[in-house]
Amino acid sequence: MSKHNIFLEITNGIWLIEKSYADSQFLLIDSILKGNFNVLDKENVVAKYFSIDNVGAVSFSSKDTKPFSNSSSRSTAVIYVSGPIMKHDNCGAPGTQTYISLVQSAAANPNIGSILMVDDTPGGTVNGTEGLHEAVLAAKTQKPVLTLVDGLLASAGYWFASASTEIYASNKTDRIGSIGTMVSFADLQAMYEKQGVVFHEIYADASTQKNQEFIQARQGKYDALKATLNSINDVFVGAVKSNRGDRLNQKETLSGKMFMAQDAISVGLIDGFKTFDEAIARAQELANSQEFNQSSNTNQNQSNMKSKLSWAAITAFFSGKDSTFKADETVLTEDHLSQMNAELATLAQAKTDLTAAIARAEKAEGELATANTSIQTLTTAKTSADTELADLKAKHPGATAPIKKVTDTTTAEEKESDFSCDVDDEVRASREKLYGPRK
């Protein structure tokens, strides 16, 4: 980072930094503002990082290799974060971009089982801090990330550290907190005007709101600048609340107050005390536990599930289904995972069967709807016929059913033959009475 950019960060950047530290740097800042950049002419500080394996062997990476490339299996990556932090590397310390790269390299390295960040920082610029917070948060989903405070963890430093799996202080005199947002600037215009400097500000006609926060602040009107600070603070505080959850006493911790280490434990900012060796041991313990065991035969989905679900939630879900699940156990075993997978497979088959049953029910429901429609149509037709019959009876009272006409099918010849036979018999009978039988 160039000296010019450092000057711009100091004079124009918004910082999340502990005020006592900022005030202690006043002489340095004053020298820079007066143009004395020689105070920055010192050797660049290289980011300090290495890895420690489970037997205590330390591995360093050369400048020509990727960070942690020489690490042995199940190692813990150690990353030191110190001093005020800006987005870009500067002649005093690495920037958040460098730290993001280190965290991502450690998270992606299969030989790294856990990450320990050793922090001694008063905070830094807003620019870049959220990105480092997101990098730590992402790394935590893959392997445990611990933070060990080594003196001071404040403001922007606590923002990204709050994303860690656990946070520990190393000394009783460590200070933690300053969760809040402020801006401080010195108006030097009057001093320069006394030296004969004339300031001119010319704006485009449409640029009516340009630099209004700063212009109004110089006039003692801070509302516009406060609105910006409030927006930044909401993001900062929201991240801390989400990361620390129920461990955090929000009433005590979110107003910008600093806490000594023991008090920071009491209000939930950190999780206890540990030495460096104890922090390494804890990181490796978590790495070897089932929740973060990346070398197990379980797939990534199982790892994600284990890191997100509490044991209480798992036992509650499977309560009554398997008597081997015990509430006093704190980690999952391979047997538990096998049982859970078998239960989930059973549930998946039950879901398939249920889906098929629902499809059959929907088909039957459709057929029933068609039948109901037909019944409704027939019912309507019958009602219409009954109405017509009632109308006919009303128009023709006393009418009976029509007599059925029977068609005579006898032929004319048959009728004539039958008639002739009857007459002949009568004539013959009469003659016989008068004349006697015909001879």
In a domain, 315, yes or no: no
Rg (CA), the chain: 48
Least reliable range by pLDDT among 77-86, 133-142, 274-283 = 77-86
Residue 135: pLDDT over 60: yes
| Residue of higher predicted confidence among 277 and 403 | 277
Model confidence over 202-259: pLDDT tens digits? 989 999 998 888 889 888 899 998 999 999 999 999 999 999 999 999 988 999 999 9
In a domain, 378, yes or no: no
Beta partners for residue 154, in sequence order: 177
In a domain, 401, yes or no: no
pLDDT of residue 300: 45
Residue 92: pLDDT over 80: no
Model confidence over 284-326: pLDDT tens digits? 999 998 555 544 444 444 444 444 444 555 555 555 544 555 5
Question: How far is residue 171's CA from residue 169's CA, in Å, rounded to a whole number?
Answer: 6
- Average pLDDT on 27-33 reads 54
Model confidence over 178-188: pLDDT tens digits? 998 887 777 77
Pairing of strands 58-59, 49-52: antiparallel
Indicate the average pLDDT of the chain: 79
In a domain, 339, yes or no: no
Question: How far is residue 413's CA from residue 435's CA, in Å, rounded to a whole number?
Answer: 33
**Going by C-beta distance under 8 Å and a sequence separation of 6 or more, which residues neighbour residue 13?**
86, 125, 126, 127
**CB–CB of 43/83 below 8 Å?**
no
Confidence of residue 4 (pLDDT cuts 50, 70, 90): very low
In a domain, 249, yes or no: yes
Angle at 157 between CA 164 and CA 125, to 5 degrees: 135
Which range, 55-64, 228-237, 334-343, has the best average confidence (pLDDT)? 228-237
Helix, strand, coil percentages for the chain (3-state, nearest 5): 50, 10, 35
pLDDT of residue 267: 96
pTM for the structure as a whole: 0.60
Angle at 211 between CA 210 and CA 213, to 5 degrees: 120
pLDDT of residue 153: 96
Domain count for the chain? 1
In a domain, 400, yes or no: no
Residue 401: pLDDT over 60: no
In a domain, 208, yes or no: yes
Q: CATH code at 147?
A: 3.90.226.10
Residue 31: pLDDT over 60: no
In a domain, 385, yes or no: no
Element (H, E) at 99: helix 96-108
pLDDT of residue 419: 47
Length of the chain: 439
pLDDT of residue 402: 55
Question: How far is residue 337's CA from residue 20's CA, in Å, rounded to a whole number?
Answer: 51
pLDDT of residue 125: 86
- Average pLDDT on 113-118 reads 97
Tokens of 5: 């950019």
The tally of CA atoms less than 13 A away on the side-chain side of residue 123 is: 28
Domain span at residue 155 reads 3-282
Task: Single out the residue of 48, 125, 36, 112 nearest to residue 77, CA to CA.
Answer: 112
pLDDT of residue 144: 96
Give the long-range contacts of residues 399-403, CB within 8 A, separation 24 or more.
none
- Average pLDDT on 371-377 reads 87
- Average pLDDT on 332-354 reads 75
Q: Can you spell out the DSSP letters for 70-128?
A: TPPTTEEEEEEEES-B-SS--SSS--HHHHHHHHHHHHH-TTEEEEEEEEEE-EEESTT
Residue 75: pLDDT over 70: yes
